[in-house]
Structure 1
Amino acid sequence: MDTALLQAFLAVARQESFSQAAEHLHLTQPAVTKRIQALEEQFGTPLFDRVGRRITLTEAGRALLPRARQWLHDLDDMRRLAGDFAEAATGQLTGTLTVGTSHHIGLHRLPPALRAFSTMHPQVRLDIRFIDSEQAYEAVLSGELELGIVTLPPVPDDRLVARVIWPDPLAFVVAAGHPLAGRARQRRQADDSATGIAAADLAGHPAILPSPNTFTRQIAEGMFRSEGLRLQVNLETNYLETIKMMVSIGLGWSVLPANLCDADVVAVPVNGVRLSRDLGVVHHPRRVLSRAAAAMLALLEAEAAGAR
């Protein structure tokens, strides 16, 4: 079986688009189309339904999908095993380690680990892809990435092995001049025992949050649902630094990692509410990790143990 055909099949299935699959694979769209046609000829059945601009898997395509992923996983494992024997003879780790991580983790959490890894294993080329945590999670699940260093989902998912590396407390944040910041100060001045505002106070003002499919948004919305409240989300973006900027100029409140609070955005305590998320590393349970990935995993776990 030609691995290039299966890789094209997986890319089109994931992107639901020939053009986006071609961009992902660094190929032309006709080249991807030709590969899919060759695969369909080999199996003697269509693998995709093409209705207008919409691309969906046929019944045969859905049946092939998990088997194609596993076949490529197994092939990668065999290549990795052979490479590990060669590396063991030289005593050095070599090759490429492909990791997906979010911009926030890449900027604020990962640099010490990357520096240490590069110092310890200079022959390993790091291929770091800065994407949303949720995209990295799915890429590890599909076998495209070996490791994902991501925001972990609020509900455990046994399809991947996950290890918490950094607990990440969250804060409700507003600009210093926002009415909610003033309300919190007034309540503390009126009652020394008051800790902050009510969740309903937040719900009455516009919010700036990541998109609904993000784990951070799910954590925030889950808290408001438990209070019987609905959010007014006026702006959405998955870039936390952009959210911070928009909060700082008074466009709304948000939920951000507490370590992003500074003179531009201030944390507003909410009575009876403490939000947190976990940042960590995920890998596929059925994939044999390369020696480089195992070394990165061990380094991250050591960092987590040292922080406890």
Structure 2
Amino acid sequence: MDTRYVDTFVLVAECGSMAEAARRMNITPTALAQRLHALEREFGVPLFSRSGRFVRITEGGARLLERARRFQREVRALKAAVSTEGFPGGLRVGSIRTALGNVIPLALKHIADHHPGLDATVEIGASHELYHQVTGGKVDAAFLVEPPFRTPKSFSWHTLRVEPLVLLAPTALTGIDPDTLLAQEPLLRYDRRTWGGSLADQYLQARNLRPRERFELDSPDGLVTLVEMGLGISLVPDCFRPGTLPPGVAVIPLPRNTLARRLGVLWPHHSTYGRLFETLVAAMDTDASAAT
């Protein structure tokens, strides 16, 4: 069953760029354009309009998009029904960037060890974006920060890591009270628009602290580099693997702090891969218990 033309249409709609979609599918832009033209001839309507380097979906394309996604899900279910493992292949997993250094390698190793014939693609994004990708069926599961609201009952959530809010500071400043440092040193902000970054706001408001802010970015690893360069201090979830921080950066616990980021995995109950995710989180819980 050749579904490449429908898959191409959906990917272009999600990327908003024919060049990016062609890169992800490992085909030439010319081949991708030919597939779209074939679909437009089949349905008798234009599906995209060009806007510079990007494309915008037309009204006819928008009407087709949700049905195309539903068609993809049905095809995957058909493949799963006849697969010896019960999985159709082409697993799509979303992940926040900071999970790439801790939970994602363990998850991919489990898949490779127990399902060697199953290929997977990891899409990187912010937690709020990944949440909508899971609920919208664009990815099969996502490793993200626990949403600050109740998830629908038709989805499963499993916490894998609890990462307390900590202070990153140059090692020369260790031994100084964290609140004193926050009052005196420039603050390097973990993007407050992210669910993990909002924890810093909660801490500062609870302690009635108004630090002098310098830079703001959505990258704990980038913040580590800035702290090492002596540009300030930062409030971030403790998402770092032991031994990975440079010697010039210290992780300082916050006294009387209960704020933490919960990193876990979200997937729909009806997922074709439901059994895989259940065994995956059980194995990762076992590994975490053994490590402690």
Shorter-chain TM-score bucket reads 0.7 to 0.9
Q: Secondary structure at the match of 2:197?
A: helix
Correspondence 1:131 to 2:124: yes
1:22-37 equivalences in 2 (<5 Å): 22-37=22-37
How far apart in 1 are the matches of 2:121 and 2:48?
Answer: 31
Instruction: Report the equivalent of 2:13.
Output: 13
2:183 to 201, 219, 239: 201
How far apart in 2 are the matches of 1:95 and 1:290?
Answer: 13
- Partner amino acid, structure 1, of 2:142: G
RMSD (Å) for aligned C-alpha atoms: 3.9
Instruction: Report the equivalent of 1:175.
Output: 170
1:284 to 260, 268, 277: 268
Residues paired across the two proteins, number: 285
Instruction: Report the equivalent of 1:105.
Output: 99
| CA separation of 1:155 and 1:56: change in aligned 2, threshold 3 A | farther
CA contact (8 A) 2:106 2:284 kept: no
Instruction: Report the equivalent of 2:280.
Output: 296
Correspondence 1:236 to 2:217: yes
Compare 159-168 and 39-48 and name the one that shifted more.
159-168
How far apart in 2 are the matches of 1:199 and 1:60?
Answer: 57
How far apart in 2 are the matches of 1:61 and 1:225?
Answer: 46
Aligned-pair identity in percent equals 24
Q: Secondary structure at the match of 2:27?
A: coil
Q: Secondary structure at the match of 2:160?
A: strand
1:118-267 equivalences in 2 (<5 Å): 118-119=112-113, 121=114, 123-125=116-118, 127=120, 129=122, 131-134=124-127, 137=131, 140-141=134-135, 143=137, 145-158=139-152, 160-177=155-172, 184=177, 196-197=178-179, 201=183, 205-210=186-191, 214-221=194-201, 232=213, 234-238=215-219, 240-258=220-238, 260=240, 264-267=248-251
| CA separation of 1:305 and 1:143: change in aligned 2, threshold 3 A | farther
Q: Once the two structures are superposed, what CA deviation does each residue of 1:67-113 show, in whole Å capped at 9, x if it has no partner?
A: 21111011101101210xx348xxxx996755443453343345556
Report the alpha carbon displacement of residue 224 of structure 1 after superposing the two structures with TM: 5.7
How far apart in 2 are the matches of 1:285 and 1:4?
Answer: 27
Instruction: Report the equivalent of 1:189.
Output: none
| CA separation of 1:65 and 1:252: change in aligned 2, threshold 3 A | farther
Compare 138-147 and 32-41 and name the one that shifted more.
138-147
| CA separation of 1:299 and 1:272: change in aligned 2, threshold 3 A | closer
- Partner amino acid, structure 1, of 2:259: L
Report the alpha carbon displacement of residue 4 of structure 1 after superposing the two structures with TM: 1.2
Larger helix proportion of the pair: 1
- TM-score norm. by structure 1 comes to 0.72
Instruction: Report the equivalent of 2:76.
Output: 76
Report the alpha carbon displacement of residue 280 of structure 1 after superposing the two structures with TM: 0.8
How far apart in 1 are the matches of 2:141 and 2:233?
Answer: 33
Structure 2: runs of 5 or more not aligned: none
1:16-95 equivalences in 2 (<5 Å): 16-83=16-83, 86-87=84-85
- TM-score norm. by structure 2 comes to 0.75
Q: Secondary structure at the match of 2:98?
A: helix
Compare 216-225 and 11-20 and name the one that shifted more.
216-225
Report the alpha carbon displacement of residue 23 of structure 1 after superposing the two structures with TM: 0.7
- Partner amino acid, structure 2, of 1:163: H
Report the alpha carbon displacement of residue 168 of structure 1 after superposing the two structures with TM: 1.7
Report the alpha carbon displacement of residue 295 of structure 1 after superposing the two structures with TM: 3.0
Report the alpha carbon displacement of residue 182 of structure 1 after superposing the two structures with TM: 7.6
CA contact (8 A) 2:130 2:142 kept: yes
Report the alpha carbon displacement of residue 35 of structure 1 after superposing the two structures with TM: 1.4
Report the alpha carbon displacement of residue 122 of structure 1 after superposing the two structures with TM: 6.0
| CA separation of 1:35 and 1:199: change in aligned 2, threshold 3 A | farther
Instruction: Report the equivalent of 2:259.
Output: 275
Structure 1: runs of 5 or more not aligned: 185-195
Q: Once the two structures are superposed, what CA deviation does each residue of 1:36-78 show, in whole Å capped at 9, x if it has no partner?
A: 1211222211222223334222222222222211110111011
CA contact (8 A) 1:96 1:124 kept: no
CA contact (8 A) 2:18 2:54 kept: no
